[in-house]
Amino acid sequence: MASSSRVVLFFELLACLLCPFELTQGKVKEPFTLKNLPPLQKASSYPAGCATTYDYIIVGGGTAGCPLAATLSLRYRVLLLERGGSPYGNRNVSYMENFHIGLMNMAPDSPSQAFISTDGVINARARVLGGGTCINAGFYSRASSSFIQEVGWDEDLVNKSFPWVEEKIVQWPKIAPWQAALRDGLLQAGVAPFNGYTYDHVSGTKVGGTIFDETGYRHTAADLLAAGDPDNLRVLLHASVHKIVFDSRQGRLKARAIGVQFTDENGRHHQAFLNSNKDSEIIVSAGAIGTPQLLLLSGIGPKNDLKNHNIPVVLHNKYVGKGMADNPMNSIFIPTRSPPRQSLIETVGITEEGVFIEASSGFGQSSESVHCHHGIMSAEIGQLSTIPPKQRTLEAAQKYAHNKLNLPKEVFHGGFILEKIDGPLSTGHLVLTDTDVRNNPAVTFNYFSHPQDLNRCVYGIKTIERILKTNRFSELSADGAGLSMERVLNMSVQANVNLIPKHTNDTESLEQFCKDTVITIWHYHGGCHVGKVVDQHYRVLGVSGLRVVDGSIFSRSPGTNPQATVMMMGRYMGVKILRERLGRAAGV
């Protein structure tokens, strides 16, 4: 196979977090009724000088923001401001088969906004109502009980909040052959016991939930808005919040957040304000990139960085944007005799060593997935990483894209097994590049800068080698005799899609392989850590009337995959806030 073919092949595989789930297992759920959804209005509909004030203004209608807004609206007047559009009627969001097309769409109104960390790893962040749940791979798995204890959550409320989400939007997958092979391979390789179908985080091998239903239709956090009170909940789309407004009058002990400034889809500026109740709050749920970015733009952060961008300092806090982490992922491509059926992540191996093993497959059957235009963030750019930076032009990318059209479909036969490490000790930071909220800040994750992370990656690759040697995987190879690790490592290096320079010893040194082929599984988190930027209740330290509820408060990503816990946290914090204000009368 030509090396460029392998690159494309790998990307097709990578983008495979792309392919449709098939049927679901067990009983089919009653469809969750969305008839109670509040109207989804464009931000331009917000009247100039609008006199309405709110108990809560939530910035970011994402994975945490939607369940939070729905819950608070049961008793209070809530304004939810989301910079992206509606997920409804957008086929790239709603259908799993279009996952990769959505992810590669570079248009300014795409639900996915690509960014490249300074490490050279291509990444993506959501820009749509429903947030990450509209562009992700759908795998649903709860945080471990030790994680819940560590963060200090009320276990009883956690155990009520997870099912609140699950009853509405989560299903069991009917396990696909590649996922069944991984299950058997994991067990034969000693990642035991088999824990069956479960949302729980338990050592061994299991099958988790999914937010895709049996037809491959995606259910998202936006659906959870239907659980709110539509009379109390105003949702504005294409509302990009660029500043939190503070009352810093002299005599105040702390600056108080009182409102926000946002821009609508036509670029017109608006303001929205809280009412005068002392408990009213702005809650930022803009995600691990968007939340630290907005705090910085609003004057909360390291004062020298703020001054560099001429941002008036509201509060000096050197920790805003610090402690950013992304769980490094490395993948091994495994060619097979016949094309495996398409599958996203369904099975996971949870090892005692803090390494998770997952897999996906099925990129050969869909003519669309081979021939579709992936845009600038596609395999073409991965191939560009193999040529000198000055030659990485758009023309070169287009040439690669054209060549891809001529690839025989046979080269897309196979699947891949990936490993990612839990709680990376390597951390980085986020800094503003400019003051335009629409632009990505510069993010650095420093993958594998901590030796323990590298050791765990090597352990993960060795675990994949053990899986590869099992009968189950030998049977899948062209001659039934199995594949050598050297061969699959070689293919995986050549097919890699990050922008990190490769080395000649990549297949001899697993450490070098890990460093050079690191990619993301999009579980980045941090930037507003508890005790540094927010308190135990996620109130921003040093100011009043401002909270953060999203993945930016985490020091480690929960569970094998975070969305379950992030949605749960939105519901959990909503109920907690209601109970704090209303006591038992909250009735939730």
Burial zone of 126 (CB within 10 Å; 0-12 exposed, 13-18 middle, 19+ buried): buried
Residues numbered 88 to 107 that lie near ligand FAD (CB under 6 A) are 103
- Pick from 281, 561, 574, 575: which binds ligand FAD (CB under 6 A)? 561
- Pick from 38, 87, 132, 414: which binds ligand FAD (CB under 6 A)? 132
CB of 199 to ligand FAD, least distance (A): 11
* Cα–Cα distance measured from residue 574 to residue 569, given in angstroms and rounded to the nearest whole number: 8
Q: Is 83 part of any known ligand binding site?
A: yes
* Cα–Cα distance measured from residue 449 to residue 511, given in angstroms and rounded to the nearest whole number: 12
Q: Closest Cα to residue 217, out of 35, 23, 362? A: 23
* Cα–Cα distance measured from residue 418 to residue 357, given in angstroms and rounded to the nearest whole number: 6
Q: Is 241 part of any known ligand binding site?
A: yes
Q: Token digits for 467? A: 């899986």
- Pick from 185, 209, 287, 527: which binds ligand FAD (CB under 6 A)? 287
Please report whether residue 563 would count as binding ligand FAD according to CB under 6 A: yes
- Pick from 16, 257, 489, 566: which binds ligand FAD (CB under 6 A)? 566
Residues numbered 22 to 41 that lie near ligand FAD (CB under 6 A) are none
Site string for ligand FAD, 332-371 (x = CB under 6 A): -------------x--------------------------
Q: Which is nearer to ligand FAD, 163 or 451 (CB)?
A: 163
> How many other C-beta atoms lie within 10 A of the C-beta of residue 401?
18
* Cα–Cα distance measured from residue 74 to residue 57, given in angstroms and rounded to the nearest whole number: 14
CB of 9 to ligand FAD, least distance (A): 20
Q: Is 82 part of any known ligand binding site?
A: yes
Please report whether residue 414 would count as binding ligand FAD according to CB under 6 A: no
Q: Which is nearer to ligand FAD, 124 or 430 (CB)?
A: 124
> How many other C-beta atoms lie within 10 A of the C-beta of residue 269?
11
* Cα–Cα distance measured from residue 436 to residue 293, given in angstroms and rounded to the nearest whole number: 10
* Cα–Cα distance measured from residue 478 to residue 335, given in angstroms and rounded to the nearest whole number: 8
| DSSP notation for 42-74 | EGGGSPTT---EESEEEE--STTHHHHHHHHTT
523 counts as catalytic: yes
Residues numbered 427 to 446 that lie near ligand FAD (CB under 6 A) are 437
Q: Closest Cα to residue 432, out of 542, 307, 340? A: 307
Interacting stretch for ligand FAD, rule CB under 6 A, among 19-27, 56-64, 263-271, 539-547?
Answer: 56-64
Please report whether residue 68 would count as binding ligand FAD according to CB under 6 A: no
Residues numbered 193 to 252 that lie near ligand FAD (CB under 6 A) are 239-241
| DSSP notation for 120-159 | S-EEEEE-BTTGGGGTS--EE-PPPHHHHHHHT--HHHHH
Please report whether residue 121 would count as binding ligand FAD according to CB under 6 A: no
136: left (phi over 0), alpha (psi -120 to 50) or beta: beta
- Pick from 166, 380, 419, 550: which binds ligand FAD (CB under 6 A)? 550
Determine contact, residues 350/206, Cβ cutoff 8 Å: yes
CB of 469 to ligand FAD, least distance (A): 28
- Pick from 151, 225, 286, 458: which binds ligand FAD (CB under 6 A)? 286
**Which position's Cβ is nearest ligand FAD?**
62
Cα-to-chain-centroid distance, residue 83: 17
CB of 578 to ligand FAD, least distance (A): 19
Provide the CB-side half-sphere exposure for 302 (13 A, CA). 13
Q: Token digits for 42? A: 């464009």
Q: Which of 219, 270, 523, 529 is catalytic?
A: 523
CB of 282 to ligand FAD, least distance (A): 12
Q: Which is nearer to ligand FAD, 290 or 340 (CB)?
A: 290
Please report whether residue 59 would count as binding ligand FAD according to CB under 6 A: yes
* Cα–Cα distance measured from residue 56 to residue 274, given in angstroms and rounded to the nearest whole number: 7
Q: If DSSP codes are grouped into helix, strand and coil, which group holds residue 399?
A: helix
Q: Which is nearer to ligand FAD, 17 or 79 (CB)?
A: 17
Residues numbered 147 to 186 that lie near ligand FAD (CB under 6 A) are none
H or E element, residue 263: strand 255-263
* Cα–Cα distance measured from residue 269 to residue 281, given in angstroms and rounded to the nearest whole number: 21
> How far is it between the farthest Cα atoms of the chain?
79
Contacting residues for 105 by C-beta, under 8 A, at least 6 apart = 92, 111, 112, 375
The DSSP bridge pattern shows strands 240-247 and 56-59 to be unpaired
- Pick from 61, 204, 216, 321: which binds ligand FAD (CB under 6 A)? 61
Interior angle at CA 450, CA 445 and CA 455, nearest 5: 115
Interacting stretch for ligand FAD, rule CB under 6 A, among 24-32, 76-84, 273-281, 303-311?
Answer: 76-84
Q: Is 563 part of any known ligand binding site?
A: yes
Please report whether residue 127 would count as binding ligand FAD according to CB under 6 A: yes
- Pick from 4, 5, 63, 427: which binds ligand FAD (CB under 6 A)? 63
CB of 100 to ligand FAD, least distance (A): 10
Q: Is 551 part of any known ligand binding site?
A: yes
CB of 263 to ligand FAD, least distance (A): 9
* Catalytic residue IDs: 523
The residue ranges that bind ligand FAD (CB under 6 A) are 17, 59-65, 81-84, 103, 124-128, 131-133, 135-139, 239-241, 285-288, 290, 294, 345, 437, 522-523, 550-551, 561-564, 566
**Which residues make up each annotated binding site for FAD?**
82-83, 128, 241, 522-523, 551, 562-563
